[in-house]
Amino acid sequence: MNTFQSEFDVLKSVILKHPKEAFISVSTIEKQWKSLNYKSAPDLNKAIDEYEAFIEILKRHKIEIHFLPENEKTGLDSVYVRDASISCNAGMIICNMGKAAREDEPRAQQLFYKDRNIVINGVIVGEAKIEGGDVAWIDESTIAVARGYRTNDTGIARLKELLRDCAEKVIVVHSPHYKGPLDVFHLMSVFSPVNKDLAVVYSPLMTVSFREELLRRSIKLVEVPDNEFKTMGCNVLAIAPGVCIMTEGNPVTKSILESAGAEVFTYKGEEISSKGNGGPTCLTRPLVRVK
């Protein structure tokens, strides 16, 4: 059975945007990376190689890939396609970005969905702000959304309206200040579901109430160590129950996941993930999963 309300069922169809269409050229990278708060300028050729290796993992699992085209109004961050839309059984929800430099990404995705007759359930506009990285399905009827610098109260209220026929429960999680409004901090920076009863977390930056809610649901928590949180060890993409993808360089988290019965694939993400703070969940907008 197809579902659009899962983070861990078998992934069948996904939206991506290749660095060729997001980074475009060396000159584009040089113009944008500092203002977008990247750690340093991505190397275009290395980014393309890394991305091709990432795609190969998806292809080996027979996941259908839809690539977003180049769009002159979007920038480097558009490679992180998760943030511009949210999936639910009633259709796609088009976000309204909290990061001003990314304001044109949702419209670009909306046009893409319309061109392919993908149902749109609603569009979040105006003062309401929400980014897809702040939203995660815990189970098929429960969704968590973080209130932080990228997602505000008005955006959460609008999301609840759009999910009234899809979600029985919306859990609001309050994000910490951490490194401030310019930092990339989403819910999925500290929480990545891997199976119905398994999730990767970074507890030091989780709220007590949300962590307790996960434990109450008998979800085993894989705790990411401090040094691997810095290398996005907590950003893990499930492509099937207990089968996941993460960046290289997080051996402790990988070992704990494998000890918990998970199968883990890794990719080198120095250019496409580390420099822009966007791991495998950020690089993907899952469309269809199968239970």
Confidence at residue 184, expressed as pLDDT on a 0 to 100 scale: 87
Its sign, for the CA torsion 269, 148, 134, 225, is positive
Q: Which two tokens stand for residue 176?
A: 């910490």
Answer whether 155's CB lies under 8 Å from 124's CB. yes
Answer whether 74's CB lies under 8 Å from 81's CB. no
CA distance 104 to 117: 20
Distances (CA, A) of 135 to 186, 192, 225: 8, 11, 23
CA distance 104 to 68: 13
Per-residue exposure over 182-213, b if at least 16 CB sit within 10 Å of its own CB, e if not: eebbbbbbbbbbbbbebbbbbeeebbeebbeb
Q: Could you report the average pLDDT of every consecutive run of 10 residues in the chain (291 residues)?
A: 95 98 98 96 98 98 98 97 97 97 98 96 98 97 98 98 97 95 92 98 98 98 97 97 98 98 98 97 97 90
Q: Cβ atoms within 10 A of the Cβ of 281, count?
A: 29
Q: Which two tokens stand for residue 203?
A: 């507890």
Of the chain, the end-to-end C-alpha distance in Å amounts to 5
CA distance 34 to 36: 5
Q: Is 251 exposed, middle or buried (0-12, 13-18, 19+ CB in 10 A)?
A: exposed
CA distance 133 to 149: 12
CA distance 94 to 97: 10
- In CATH terms, the fold of domain 2-290 is L-arginine/glycine Amidinotransferase; Chain A (3.75.10)
What is the three-state SS of the chain? Answer: CEECCCCCCEEEEEEECCHHHHCCCHHHHHHHCCCCCCCCCCCHHHHHHHHHHHHHHHHHCCCEEEECCCCCCCCHHHHCHHHHEEEECCEEEECECCCHHHCCHHHHHHHHHHHCCCCEEEECCCCCCECHHHEEEEECCEEEEEECCCCCHHHHHHHHHHCCCCCCEEEEEECCCCCCCCCCCCHHHCEEEEECCEEEECHHHCCHHHHHHHHHCCCEEEECCHHHHCCCCCCCEEEECCEEEEECCCHHHHHHHHHCCCEEEEECCHHHHHCCCCCCCCCCEEEEEEC
Domain regions of the chain by residue span: 2-290
Exposure of 83 in the CB half-sphere (CA atoms within 13 A):
30
pTM: 0.96
